[in-house]
Amino acid sequence: MKSLVWEGPFRVHIQEREKPRPEKGEVLVRTRSVGVCGSDLEIFRGGFAHAVPPLVMGHEACGIVEEITEGVENLRPGDRVAVDPAIFCGACEFCRRGSYWQCDHRGILGMQGRDGAYAEYFVMPAPSCFPLPEGMPWDEAALIDIVADPLHAMDMISLAIGETVAVFGPGPGGLSFVQLARLAGASLVILVGTRPERLALGKELGADETINIHEQNPVEAILEITRGRGVDVGIEASGSVGAIHQALKVCRKQGRVMVFGIYSENASLDMQDMHRRELTILGSSGCPWAMPRAVELVASKRVRVLPMITHRVDLEGLERLFMDDVMERRKEGYIKGVLLM
């Protein structure tokens, strides 16, 4: 089968590989669509510590079940599925608690311990596969994961109706947060970023206010909008250390900050300020218990994902997204790419 293989920092190439074989409890899936994630770019750069080359990336995966194995009862060949990329042991302390995404032996499709879906076929445990509605377009299905991850974070935030939210980073994750915060009953959603076209899309998808940090100081602007109080919740979805500091500064006393982005460097925080104002910092990883709800939100168009897609590519086009710096430098108005097979 054809695969796009990451061979080390800044090197990906299309190769012929053997079709993977599913083991007991697993399914073989014929790839139909895969979302191109910012964490894939981090792997490409060599910045994701758990990714070991050679590796087939691709974890926001959808496809058609080709083959099932012994023990698989919830799926049949021909089923259309999206996957939760987490792979877990089911036996460690955290799995037994129900916190499988914190598994001591966790793998992640296309990132850690298992080749992913930038290929004609991939293998996943059956419990990680979730049915898709008939007729859902494959490009739309590829963005279910980018809704499910923020949905898990929103579960942790426990946003109350009428609370206020500032989202830092108008990428696909941030744009999903804007829509989810609006659905959850936020009275004010502020989106912060650097690119006018992304901020304009955020406005279209439900942001009440947008702030371009090249034109305004976001801390001053948000405090002015909230009359000095600050927002109830700050969501950092850009992977920028500077944005974490800003998210903390714009939160009210006893506010919450969600750390969602993927970071290549550590942040130094003002611990005295956190102590004095009793701030809560939350971290979110993966999309546990969120996939079925994300499928319904995308299928019902309650969360709109198609406006985020700027590039639909085959394997050769995907190679170009990485090697020609289209993703890295956000060329051609890049927001979100989808591999279609």
Q: d(Cα 30, Cα 44) in Å, to the nearest integer?
A: 24
215 Cβ neighbours under 8 A, 6+ residues apart: none
Closest to 291 measured CA to CA, from 81, 111, 124: 81
User: How sure is the predictor about 94, in pLDDT bands with cuts at 50, 70 and 90?
Assistant: very high
User: How sure is the predictor about 48, in pLDDT bands with cuts at 50, 70 and 90?
Assistant: confident
Report pLDDT for 179.
98
Distances 268 to 241, 244, 245, 281 between C-alpha atoms, Å: 9, 10, 9, 14
Q: Which CATH number fits domain 2-143+305-340: 3.30.930.10, 3.30.1490.20, 3.90.180.10, 3.40.50.620?
A: 3.90.180.10
Sheet of 107-109, strands arranged across: 86-87, 107-109, 113-114
Report pLDDT for 17.
96
| 147-283, CATH topology level | Rossmann fold (3.40.50)
Across the chain, what does the average pLDDT equal?
A: 96
β-pairing, 231-236 with 251-259? parallel
pLDDT digits (tens, 9 = 90+) for 12-38: 999 999 999 999 999 999 999 999 999
Q: Which residue has the tokens 């850690």?
A: 112
2-143+305-340 and 147-283: identical CATH topology: no
pLDDT digits (tens, 9 = 90+) for 147-176: 999 999 999 999 999 999 999 999 999 999
Q: d(Cα 217, Cα 201) in Å, to the nearest integer?
A: 21
pTM across the whole model: 0.95
For the chain, percent of residues with pLDDT exceeding 90:
92
Give me the residue spans of the domains in the chain: 2-143+305-340, 147-283
203-217 burial, b for 16+ CB within 10 Å, e for fewer?
Answer: eebbbbbbbbbeeee
